[in-house]
Chains A and B, each alone.
Chain A
Amino acid sequence: MSSDAHAQLAAEHEALIQFLYLAPVGLVQTGIDGEIVMINPISAQLLMPLSRDGCLTNLFTALEDVAPELRHLCAHFTRPNGMICDGLHIHLNSGAPAARTRAPHVLSLSLMKLDGARLMAVLSDVSEQVRRERQLRQSDAWLNALLTSITDYALVGLDRQGRVSDWNATIGRVTGFTPEVVGQPYSVFYPGDATTLEQVQDRLREADANGWSLDEGPRLRADGSQFLGSTMISPIPDLDPDSIAEGETAYCLVLRDVSGQRELIDTRRKSAFSDHLTGVANRRAFFEAAELELTRNRRTPRPTALILFDADHFKQINDRHGHPAGDQVLCQLGKALSNTFRQVDVVARVGGEEFAVLLPSSTLAGARTVAERLRELVAAEPVMCDGVPVSVTISAGIAAVDAGEHLDLDTLIKRADRALYAAKANGRNRVECWSGDHDAA
């Protein structure tokens, strides 16, 4: 080769290298087990702060804490090649704006199987898009509530305090309540454990501030039966709030029975907000719900508790009984958690073997009682895996926001995490509450 041709080739090679260095997305090529073969700088920028061991040897390991499902997703992808996940959102933290940090809030990951030996991954910071998307989704929900084919709805007038101010035939048709419901708070349409007194007020304040408040979930008929309902509350327009007499209608509540769309809603929820393995909420749903609860908490002070649960010696369970058994243990834990806590509590899987439960309007002591009950329950009943009983215990760490205390979500999580660490250090199979001095640890 002539020296000119050689120089030309070297220059092209350098340009190509720089092209990859400067690509504003993360690109990674790995083996089928996630072992990193090639990786560009943006990937290192995004992954290094997450990597527990400070290495970038394996992509799955680097993302273990925030996307525990990856290994599983790849292992269960049976086609010889194709897209394993496309734009999977990985939630890193609450997204609360913290001063002087540039930490991303949500990463997007696409994983492509090239063949039996190779994967390609694309990583990017999509924090800003997610923020915009969330706003859009709110407007979508609002339009959806107005425009989707409404088979039937109840139109309910509420007074300033949220008590039913009038009865009409639509209320009777959808909920079965008689005129005697007048004067009762609108929580009468919610199952006992599906809302709290404070949330009843929150929705009114949100309606005041935004013009509307929308939520979807289990609702109650007069005969005690439940249905999936969507509730929208909006203030009566052009009314001066101060001139409304006691008991006079101040808000309009539209209650729709959306049971017919249940499948659609469930699928939508599941794909975006559920953990694929256990069916409980995922990190994204947890962060969104927790952030909302703490924002409301600031407006209307009340206690809020957070419990972090971790399966003890989970690695040993996996090693001794195999990963399918480990998965089964996690499913069983998810089920036990869902059965133990109230509908209003948010149960989520937030790490490989770590679960979080957010308890609105609950004190540290209250949360402790339930956590203790669950701990005993789990310890008492081994999980059956292929006919083999596997004993499992859990440790829990609890922290709470007292009424009137201003605490951000990341701090609350950190405190619960410290308490969990103490529970582990004190021998596992125990529940510990955060006490100020753990901060020093």
Chain B
Amino acid sequence: MNAATDLSFATPNLHGQLAQLSQEQLDRLDFGVIGFDGETNVCKYNQTESDAAGLTAPRVLGQPLFTNVAPCLNNFMVAQRFEDAQDDSAALDDTIDYVLTLRMRPVKVKLRLLAAPGTGERYVLVQRKL
């Protein structure tokens, strides 16, 4: 395993490092990765997330995240944070407790919200709580 895939959910300065990873490397991470562009369309979706949600990447890629992929995040706790960061051209790196409805079961997770000014790509990372 190379250095890139040693990344964990809590690794500092993760935004820049994620952008460097190949699809294969993303798939090996033990946390879910959803990347989306400036228009909120999903552009990265790794295997861990796909397995947890029960959706394959082709169903998700290119779709608007907050309406067609993860409407559960479309509130002030998540979507609003990204919007505010974009409006203010500010960086966002925050981890919050949340409940996702993976395969319609309520699942406690930690979400890490990542955005960096100047780059279009933003991420929601998902770590299941044990």
Interface residues of A (CB under 8 A from B): 13-14, 17-18, 20-22, 24, 36, 38-46, 48-49, 51, 54-57, 100-103
Contacting A at CB under 8 A, from B92-128, are 97-101, 103-106, 108
How many whole Å from A46's CB to the nearest CB in chain B?
A: 8
Residues of A near B104 (CB, < 8 A) are 17, 20, 38-40
Contacting A at CB under 8 A, from B58-78, are 59, 68-77
In-complex Cβ contact of A36 among B72, B98, B103, B106 (8 A): B106
Number of interface residues of B (CB under 8 A): 29
Residues of A near B108 (CB, < 8 A) are 55
In-complex Cβ contact of B59 among A18, A20, A45, A103 (8 A): A18
Interface residues of B (CB under 8 A from A): 53-56, 59, 68-77, 79-80, 83-84, 97-101, 103-106, 108
Query: Is A44 in contact with B84, judged by CB distance below 8 angstroms?
Result: no
Query: Is A17 in contact with B54, judged by CB distance below 8 angstroms?
Result: yes
The distance in angstroms between the C-alpha atoms of A36 and B79, with both chains bound, is 24
Q: Which 5 residue pairs are nearest across A and B when measured between Cβ atoms?
A: A41-B72, A44-B72, A38-B104, A56-B106, A56-B99
Residues of B near A18 (CB, < 8 A) are 55, 59
Residues of A near B71 (CB, < 8 A) are 21-22, 24, 41-42, 45
26 A/B residue pairs, CB under 8 Å, sorted by A: A17-B55, A21-B69, A21-B101, A24-B71, A39-B101, A39-B104, A39-B105, A40-B101, A40-B104, A43-B72, A44-B100, A45-B71, A45-B75, A48-B75, A51-B99, A54-B99, A55-B106, A55-B108, A56-B106, A57-B106, A100-B80, A100-B83, A101-B76, A101-B80, A102-B79, A103-B75
In-complex Cβ contact of B101 among A41, A55, A57, A100 (8 A): A41
Tell me whether chain A's interface is mostly helix, strand or loop, or mixed.
mixed
Nearest residue (CB) in B for A47 is B99
The distance in angstroms between the C-alpha atoms of A40 and B76, with both chains bound, is 18
Residues of B near A20 (CB, < 8 A) are 104
Query: Is B99 in contact with A48, judged by CB distance below 8 angstroms?
Result: yes
Nearest residue (CB) in B for A13 is B54
The distance in angstroms between the C-alpha atoms of A38 and B103, with both chains bound, is 8
Query: Is A45 in contact with B56, judged by CB distance below 8 angstroms?
Result: no
